[in-house]
C-alpha cells in the first residue's frame, strides 16, 4: 500500500466544516488484477484505512470509477477514512480493465467474479457492502440475480433501472444523457486528465453534434470517433431490445437492507420511487431520500445528506427516517412514514383554473430552431431549478397561468397533464412543465416531462414533486414541442433519427379542455432540520 496521490492528500487537508472528521489515515494500492470468469483481467484500486482492526469492505464498480477525481475522493478516500476497505473497479474494456466493453451486459458476471476474488483477500472479513451513484447503482442491482452470502447492505444513489425508459421513455430519445454519459463510459484509460479532456472535447463540439444532420455523422466529433454502444442506443426505440438489461424487476428482490436517494431534477426520480415502493411491498428494510438536486449535484451540494445516509447503512445503524423529502417553496425537509403521503388528485383545466378561456391555443415548432432544453433534469450548465424567463419568452412556448392563490397549496406525489391536441406533421411531441410564479413574476420549474403525441388524448407524465405554493403565487403550465437536446428534437418526418436528414416544421393545437392533475396533500407533516448546502467537489456520474 502506498501514500495517496498529492491531490487526494490536499483534499483531505481541506477544512471539514459540516463534514465528518476522518477516523483513520488512508493508503491506496492501484491496478490490482481481478480475474473474471472468462480469464479477462479487471483492474481495481484498493483504498484501505490504516489500522490493524478488521474492517468491512465496500465495493464500487463502473466504467469510469477509476478515472480519477472526483470519484476516487468521494468513494475511495472519504469512505475508507471512516473505517472501510474500498474497492473501486473498472468495468471490462474500460479504465485499464481488459476485454471489450458491452454496455451493462457483463456487469452481473463480472461483479460475481469480483466477490469471489474478495473472498481470497487477507483483509476481507466476510462483510460486504455496495455503494455508488448512477451506473454504480446498476452494478449493485445486478448482484441480486445471484446474491452473495456476504452481502450486508446496498446504497443506490441517483440510479436507473429500466434501461429502455432511461433512453427512450415516452418514445423520444434522451440525447443529452446519452452524450454526457457516453463521455464517461467511453473512456478507455484510468487517468484524471483524460476524463477532463474528454469532457472538454464534448462541450466544445456539443452544439454541432446536436444540430448537424445526419446525427450518425455528427456525433463522432465529440467522442473522438464512432461508438457502437451509442449507435445501438439510438437505433432501438423498441422495448424488446432492452429487456435483458433492465433491472427494475430485480431491485425489489435485493435481499439486504437498501438505501435509495434521488433528486427532484435527477434523471429518473420516478424510477427510484418505484424501486422504493417495490422494496416496501416485498417487506425490505429500505429508506428513501429525495433532495433539491440534479443527477450531478446530489454528489455536490447534496453530499452532506447523501453521505450521512450512506454511512448509516454501511455501519448497520437504524435509518434516521423512512422517507425524507425536500419541499420546494418552503425550503424545508420533511420526514414521512411512506411515499407518497395521502393526497387527493385535483384537476386543473386550462380553460378555467389556468385562465385560458374557451377554445384552443397553437404553437409553431421548427426543428431547425428547436425549443431548447433549459433547467430541469439536465447534466449541462442550466440544470436544476431556475427562473424560466429565457424559455418563456419564446414564441413556440405556450403559457397557461392561474390567478394568484388566495390560500396555500401543497402537492406531494406524481403530476400529469392530459392533452387534447393535434399536430400537422407526421410526428410531434408535447413537452409540459409545471412552474411556481412568485409575485415578482419569477417562474421556477418544479417538474416536467415529454411524450410523443398520439391521436386524440396525449398523457404527459411530469414526474414526482413535493412543493408548497404560497398565497399570492400562481401556477403555470408551459407547453411546447420539445426540449432539445435533453430530448432529441422531433424531425417531423417519423424517420429513424440516426440517418435522417430532413426536417419538417409543424403546427400544434392544444385545446383548452386539456387538464393538469395535481396531488394535493390532505395533511401536513412536520418539518425536520434543514440539510447543509455546503459545496463539495463537482461530480458528474454518468
Mind listing the pLDDT tens digit for each residue in 409-423? 999 999 999 999 999
Among the listed ranges 319-323, 343-347, 371-375, 534-538, which one has the minimum average pLDDT value?
534-538
pLDDT > 70? residue 245: yes
Specify which residues 350 forms β-bridges with. Answer: none
pLDDT > 50? residue 537: no
Note whether 1-126 and 137-172+237-339 share their fold: yes
Q: How many helices (H) and strands (E) does the chain have?
A: 14, 22
Among the listed ranges 270-279, 353-362, 532-541, which one has the minimum average pLDDT value?
532-541
pLDDT in the model for residue 542: 39
Gap between the Cα atoms of 275 and 270, Å rounded: 9
CA end-to-end span of the chain: 29
DSSP state letters, 397-448: EEEEEPPPPSS-EEEEEEEEEEEEEEESSS--EEEEEEEEE-TT--EEEEEE
pLDDT in the model for residue 187: 62
The CATH code belonging to domain 343-521 is: 2.60.120.260
Instruction: Tell me the mean pLDDT in the region 276-293.
Output: 98
DSSP alpha helix (H) spans, 187-302:
192-211, 215-218, 220-223, 228-235, 269-281
Q: What is the pLDDT of residues 76-130, one digit of tens each?
A: 999 999 999 999 999 999 889 999 999 999 999 999 999 999 999 999 999 999 9
Q: How confident is the model at residue 494 (pLDDT cuts 50, 70, 90)?
A: very high
Collect all residues with Cβ–Cβ distance below 8 Å to 286 and sequence separation of at least 6.
257, 258, 259, 260, 276, 279, 280
Cell numbers representing residue 117 in the block: 476474488
pLDDT above 90 as % of the chain = 87
Residue of 477 and 528 predicted with greater confidence = 477
DSSP 298: G
Gap between the Cα atoms of 338 and 324, Å rounded: 9
Gap between the Cα atoms of 42 and 125, Å rounded: 22
Q: How confident is the model at residue 389 (pLDDT cuts 50, 70, 90)?
A: very high
Gap between the Cα atoms of 441 and 319, Å rounded: 40
pLDDT in the model for residue 181: 86
CATH class of 1-126: alpha beta
Residue 39's CB: how many other CB atoms inside 10 A?
Answer: 8
Q: What is the pLDDT of residues 176-231, one digit of tens each?
A: 999 998 887 876 555 667 777 777 888 899 999 999 999 999 999 999 899 999 99
Distance from chain centroid for Cα 205:
23
pLDDT in the model for residue 514: 97
Backbone angles phi, psi at 304, to 5 degrees: -60, -45
Gap between the Cα atoms of 161 and 337, Å rounded: 24
Gap between the Cα atoms of 348 and 173, Å rounded: 29
pLDDT > 80? residue 532: no
Among the listed ranges 61-70, 78-87, 340-349, 423-432, which one has the minimum average pLDDT value?
61-70
Strand 409-423 to 258-265 pairing: unpaired
What is the average pLDDT value for the chain, to the nearest integer?
93
Instruction: Tell me the mean pLDDT in the region 493-500.
Output: 96
**Which of 433, 270, 409 minimizes the C-alpha distance to 344?**
409
Collect all residues with Cβ–Cβ distance below 8 Å to 3 and sequence separation of at least 6.
9, 27, 28
Instruction: Tell me the mean pLDDT in the region 315-334.
Output: 96
Gap between the Cα atoms of 99 and 484, Å rounded: 35
Q: So where are the chain's domains?
A: 1-126, 137-172+237-339, 174-232, 343-521
Asked whether 286 and 258 are in contact (CB, 8 A), the reply is: yes
pLDDT in the model for residue 536: 35
pLDDT above 70 as % of the chain = 95
The CATH code belonging to domain 137-172+237-339 is: 3.40.50.1820
Instruction: Tell me the mean pLDDT in the region 10-32.
Output: 90
Collect all residues with Cβ–Cβ distance below 8 Å to 8 and sequence separation of at least 6.
28, 69, 72, 73, 76, 77
pLDDT in the model for residue 33: 98
Asked whether 460 and 270 are in contact (CB, 8 A), the reply is: no
Q: What is the pLDDT of residues 115-168, one digit of tens each?
A: 999 999 999 999 999 999 999 999 999 999 999 999 999 999 999 999 999 999
Strand 26-35 to 41-49 pairing: antiparallel
Instruction: Tell me the mean pLDDT in the region 486-497.
Output: 96
Q: How confident is the model at residue 530 (pLDDT cuts 50, 70, 90)?
A: low
Among the listed ranges 189-193, 328-332, 391-395, which one has the minimum average pLDDT value?
189-193
Cell numbers representing residue 520 in the block: 394535493
Amino acid at each position: 500500500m502506498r501514500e495517496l496521490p498529492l491531490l487526494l492528500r490536499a483534499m483531505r487537508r481541506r477544512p471539514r466544516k459540516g463534514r465528518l472528521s476522518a477516523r483513520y489515515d488512508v493508503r491506496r494500492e492501484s491496478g490490482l488484477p481481478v480475474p473474471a470468469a472468462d480469464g479477462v483481467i479487471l483492474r481495481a484500486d484498493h483504498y484501505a484505512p490504516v489500522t490493524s482492526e478488521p474492517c468491512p469492505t465496500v465495493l464500487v464498480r463502473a466504467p469510469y470509477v477509476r478515472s480519477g477525481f472526483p470519484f476516487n475522493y468521494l468513494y475511495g478516500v472519504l469512505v475508507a477514512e471512516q473505517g472501510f476497505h474500498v474497492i473501486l473497479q473498472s468495468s471490462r474494456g474500460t479504465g485499464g480493465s481488459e476485454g471489450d466493453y458491452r454496455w451493462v451486459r457483463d456487469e452481473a458476471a463480472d461483479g460475481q467474479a469480483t466477490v469471489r476474488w474478495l473472498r481470497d483477500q487477507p483483509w476481507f472479513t466476510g462483510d460486504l457492502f455496495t455503494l455508488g451513484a448512477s451506473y454504480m447503482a446498476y452494478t449493485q442491482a445486478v448482484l441480486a440475480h445471484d446474491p452473495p452470502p456476504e452481502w450486508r447492505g446496498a446504497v443506490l444513489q441517483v440510479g436507473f433501472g429500466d434501461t429502455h425508459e432511461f433512453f427512450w421513455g415516452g418514445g423520444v430519445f434522451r440525447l443529452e444523457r446519452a452524450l454526457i454519459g457516453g463521455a464517461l463510459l467511453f473512456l478507455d484509460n484510468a487517468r484524471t486528465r483524460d476524463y477532463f479532456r474528454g469532457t472538454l472535447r464534448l462541450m466544445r463540439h456539443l452544439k454541432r453534434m446536436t444540430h448537424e444532420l445526419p446525427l450518425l455523422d455528427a456525433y463522432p466529433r465529440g467522442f473522438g470517433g464512432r461508438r457502437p454502444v451509442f449507435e445501438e442506443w439510438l437505433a432501438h426505440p423498441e422495448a424488446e431490445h432492452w429487456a435483458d438489461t433492465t433491472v427494475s424487476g430485480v431491485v425489489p428482490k435485493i435481499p439486504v437492507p437498501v438505501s435509495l436517494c434521488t433528486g427532484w431534477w435527477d434523471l429518473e426520480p420516478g424510477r427510484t420511487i418505484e424501486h422504493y415502493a417495490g422494496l416496501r411491498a416485498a417487506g425490505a428494510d429500505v429508506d428513501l431520500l429525495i433532495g433539491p438536486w440534479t443527477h450531478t449535484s446530489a454528489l455536490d451540494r447534496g453530499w452532506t445528506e447523501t453521505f450521512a445516509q450512506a454511512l448509516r447503512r454501511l455501519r448497520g445503524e437504524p435509518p434516521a427516517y423512512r422517507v425524507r423529502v425536500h419541499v420546494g417553496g418552503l425550503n424545508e425537509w420533511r420526514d414521512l412514514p411512506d411515499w407518497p403521503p395521502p393526497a387527493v388528485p385535483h384537476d386543473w383545466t386550462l380553460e378555467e383554473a389556468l385562465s385560458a378561456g374557451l377554445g384552443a391555443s397553437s404553437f409553431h415548432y421548427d426543428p431547425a430552431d428547436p425549443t431548447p432544453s433549459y433547467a430541469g433534469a439536465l447534466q449541462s450548465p442550466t440544470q436544476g431549478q431556475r427562473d424560466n424567463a429565457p424559455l418563456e419568452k419564446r414564441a413556440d412556448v405556450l403559457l397557461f397561468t392561474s390567478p394568484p392563490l388566495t390560500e396555500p397549496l401543497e402537492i406531494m406525489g406524481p403530476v400529469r397533464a392530459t392533452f387534447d391536441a393535434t399536430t400537422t406533421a407526421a410526428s410531434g411531441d408535447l413537452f409540459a412543465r409545471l412552474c411556481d410564479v412568485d409575485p415578482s413574476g419569477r417562474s421556477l420549474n418544479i417538474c416536467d416531462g415529454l411524450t410523443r403525441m398520439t391521436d386524440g388524448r396525449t398523457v404527459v407524465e411530469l414526474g414526482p414533486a413535493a412543493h408548497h405554493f404560497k398565497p399570492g403565487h400562481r401556477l403555470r403550465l408551459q407547453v411546447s414541442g420539445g426540449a432539445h437536446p435533453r430530448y432529441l428534437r422531433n424531425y417531423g418526418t417519423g424517420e429513424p433519427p440516426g440517418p435522417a436528414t430532413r426536417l419538417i416544421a409543424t403546427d400544434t393545437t392544444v385545446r383548452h379542455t386539456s387538464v393538469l392533475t395535481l396531488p394535493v396533500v390532505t395533511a401536513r407533516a412536520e418539518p425536520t432540520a434543514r440539510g447543509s448546502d455546503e459545496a463539495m467537489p463537482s461530480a458528474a456520474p454518468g
